[in-house]
Amino acid sequence: MRNLLNTLFVLSEDVYLSLEGENVVVLRESETVGRFPLHTLEGILCFSYKGASPALMGACAERGILLSFYSPQGRFLCQTTGTAQGNVLLRREQFRCADSPLACRDLANGFLTGKLYNARWVLERATRDHALRVDAARLKSASIALSGALRTLPAQPDTDSLRGVEGAAAQQYFAVFDELILQNKHDFFFRSRSRRPPLDRVNALLSFVYTLLANECGAALRGCGLDPYVGYLHTDRPGRASLALDLMEELRPVLGDRFALSLINSRQISPKQFDLRENGAVYLNDDGRKAVLAGWQAKKRETLTHPFLGEKLYWGLLPYVQALLLARYLRGDLDAYPPFLWK
C-alpha cells in the first residue's frame, strides 16, 4: 500500500478493504495489514481481486472519495459514485480548458516538454552507458537538436506550432533510434517509424508497447475522474482517447521506448515471435505478445524516485501519479502541470 497525493494505492492482489469506524482497514485473510483514516483520503485505487466491502463503498460515496477498481494488470473495471458525482466540477474544468486555445497550448507544452526532455535523456544515457557500442557523435548531435527544440517550445503561439516542433524533433530522435539497438541487429533494425501497418519487428514491438501504455494512461485518467477522450494536444476524434494519448507522450521515451529496447537488448524477445505477412506487415504472434506482457508486468514492479514528488514508487504507478497531478492542476491546486522529467 502507498499513500501518495492523498490517494491510497492498494497494489496487493490478495487483500480486502473494509470499513472500521472512520478508517479504511486492509485485511489479508483475517490479519490487518494497514489502516488509513478516511478524512485523509481523496481517492482509493484498488488493484486487488478481492475488492471492498459495501460499507466502505457507501462511506466513500457519501464523503466524495473516489474508489476505483482495476484488475491486477491495470485494466480499469469500475468506480463507486454516490447520488451526486463530485467529479462533475473537475470534468467541467477539463472541458472548459479543452475549449480554450490558450489552456490547450499550455497543457500541450507541458506534455511535449516532458517528451522531448525524456527523449534527449534516453540518448544521453545510451551515450554514457554504451559509448564503445554506439555512434556517440550521432547520438550527441540528435541530443543537441532535441535540446534546441525543447528551448523553443515555450515561445510557440498555439498547439499547431507545438506539434510542428515536436514532429521535427521526433524525426531527429528516430533518425538515430537504430543506434540504441545493441543485439541481433540483423533481425531487429529500425529505419523509420511505420504504424499502419508496422513494417519491421522493432516497429511492431513499439506499436504493441505504445498500446499497452495508452491503455494504462486511459485507466489512470478514468480512476482520477477525468474523461480520457477529451484532450489538449491530440484533437477530438470519435473513438480516440485523446487525453490518454496526451498523457502518454511524456512517458513514451522512458516507459515505452526503453522497455522495448530492453526486451531486444536482453534477448527477451526473439525474431521467431513475430509473424511476417504477405503485404509486408509485421506483427507479434501469440508467443511474442506473452513475452512482452510478462516483461511489462515485471517492468511495472521496478521502482524509481519521482522527480516532482521526491517519493519512491513503482514504474507501474507513474501514469496514475501523473493523472492525479493533472487533475490537481485542473482543480487549481497547482499553478502548472508538472510533467515527468526523467534523468
Percent of the chain residues topping a pLDDT of 90: 69
* Sequence-distant (≥ 6) Cβ neighbours of residue 307 within 8 angstroms: 340, 341, 342, 343
| The pLDDT of residue 86 | 54
Vertex 110, ends 179 and 89: CA angle to 5°?
140
The whole-chain average pLDDT of the chain stands at: 91
| Tens-digit pLDDT profile for residues 254-270 | 999 999 999 999 999 99
C-alpha closest to that of 3 among 43, 32, 31:
43
Condensed to tens digits (0 to 9), the pLDDT of residues 136-182 reads 999 999 999 999 999 999 999 999 999 999 999 999 999 999 999 99
Closest CA to 235 of 227, 243, 224: 243
Q: Residues 6 or more apart from 21 whose CB is under 8 A from it?
A: none
pLDDT tens profile 11-30: 888 999 999 999 999 999 88
Residue 273 has pLDDT above 90, yes or no: yes
| Amino acid symbol at 137 | A
Mean pLDDT of the 214-239 span? 90
Q: Provide the residue type at 222 as one letter.
A: R
* Percent of the chain topping pLDDT 70: 97
pLDDT of residue 4: 67
- Rounded to a whole number of angstroms, the CA Rg of the chain reads 21
Average pLDDT (180-196) is 91
Question: For residues 175 and 239, is the Cβ–Cβ distance under 8 A?
Answer: no
For residue 177, the tally of other CB atoms under 10 A from its CB is: 21
Query: Are the beta carbons of 153 and 165 closer than 8 angstroms?
Result: yes
Q: Whole-angstrom Cα distance, residue 291 to residue 295? A: 6
Work out whether strand 66-70 and strand 43-46 pair parallel, antiparallel, or are unpaired: parallel
pLDDT band, residue 109 (cuts 50/70/90): very high
Average pLDDT of the segment spanning 173-195: 93
Please give the pLDDT value at position 85.
Answer: 53
Q: Which of 44, 49, 43, 39 is nearest to 16 (CA)?
A: 49
Express each pLDDT in 314-334 by its tens digit: 999 999 999 999 999 999 999
**Alpha-helix runs per DSSP H in the chain:** 54-63, 88-98, 101-129, 136-152, 159-175, 201-223, 242-249, 258-265, 286-300, 318-331
Q: What is the pLDDT of residues 279-302, one digit of tens each?
A: 889 999 988 988 998 999 899 989
Q: For position 256, what pLDDT does the model report?
A: 96
Residue 2 scores a pLDDT above 70: no
Which domains are present in the chain?
Answer: 2-86 (3.100.10.20), 92-331 (1.20.120.920)
